[in-house]
Amino acid sequence: MNEQANVISEPLRNPLSLFQVSGKSALITGGSGTFGRAMALALAALGVNVTIAGSSQAELDQVADEVRSLGKGAVNVVRARPDSLADADRMRDSALSAFGRIDQLVIASGYNKAGFIHEMKYEDWQAVMDANVRGAWFMAKSVGAYFIDKSVKGKVLLMSSVRGRHGNYSGYTAYCTSKGATDALTRVLATEWARYGITVNAIAPTVFRSKLTAWMFGDDELGQATKKRSLSRIPLGRLGEVEDLVGMALYLLSPASDFCTGQVMYVDGGYTAG
């Protein structure tokens, strides 16, 4: 009998060890947004030191206070958006200055402006593309260079959407296009960086409550129609909540996902299954 067959590996003996992230350092863009805040709190609760970046100092400070109230991982704040490579480098350097390392990059910043193509200004379309694609490229370039230079087997997590796979006739030419590009960026970075042990994945939710989707919960006719149509396509019969995304994110940012890369993980209540 092969003696190895009787050896119980550590992941089998202690499966929760696969999710051990305490002591690591995460850089989170969009840190004051719905998903960025959730990631900062969840990671910090597990002992990760988090650097949160965003455009609103007041909102960042509020999230930082919430992180500190957990009494676990430390928090560092940098007021910045990835509008240029210099901005991305400044976020990276702030995290390195605060904690001496970066292990996880969460690109959670984003933007949407709905509008039918025949009515939409080009500048509005470009603003969505810049926020959702160009900014992600800058962050990946900056932190990826650090990972490679320091031989860090980093974890990169991008925010996509079911709209990267499905169209929408409610004026989403900018958003759908940007998320399709996010999916492609996820796959190409995963293949490009696999040789360095860096994993790159994306979460693709359906509609969930956030600052980005607030327009759908008011009296706006377009928003109400979009909400109703979205609910009709979700087999589980409800919109997503930010807590629904945390489990998948922790998997993709922990050793549990070391053999998972280049994937767009749909957290959508069954939307893409139907």
Q: Are 85 and 91 in contact (CB under 8 A)?
A: no
> With a cut of 70, which residues of the chain have pLDDT below it?
1-5, 115, 117, 164-165, 167-171, 212
pLDDT of residue 168: 67
Give the Cα separation of 164 and 184 in Å (integer): 9
Is 271 in the active site? no
Give the Cα separation of 24 and 44 in Å (integer): 10
pLDDT of residue 1: 44
pLDDT of residue 120: 80
DSSP codes joined into one string, 108-177: -------B-TTT--HHHHHHHHIIIIIHHHHHHHHHHHHHHHTT---EEEEE--GGGTS--TTTBHHHHH
Give the pair of three-digit tokens for residue 213.
């989707």
- Count CA atoms within 13 Å of residue 10 on its CB side: 7
**Identified catalytic residue from 111, 172, 175, 266:** 175
pLDDT tens readout for residues 256-268:
999 999 999 998 8
Give the Cα separation of 271 and 232 in Å (integer): 9
Give the Cα separation of 62 and 54 in Å (integer): 12
pLDDT of residue 165: 58
pLDDT of residue 128: 79
Beta strand 104-107 with 25-29: parallel, antiparallel or unpaired?
parallel
pLDDT tens readout for residues 210-246:
776 777 777 778 778 877 877 888 899 888 889 999 9
Q: Are 157 and 203 in contact (CB under 8 A)?
A: yes
pLDDT of residue 147: 98
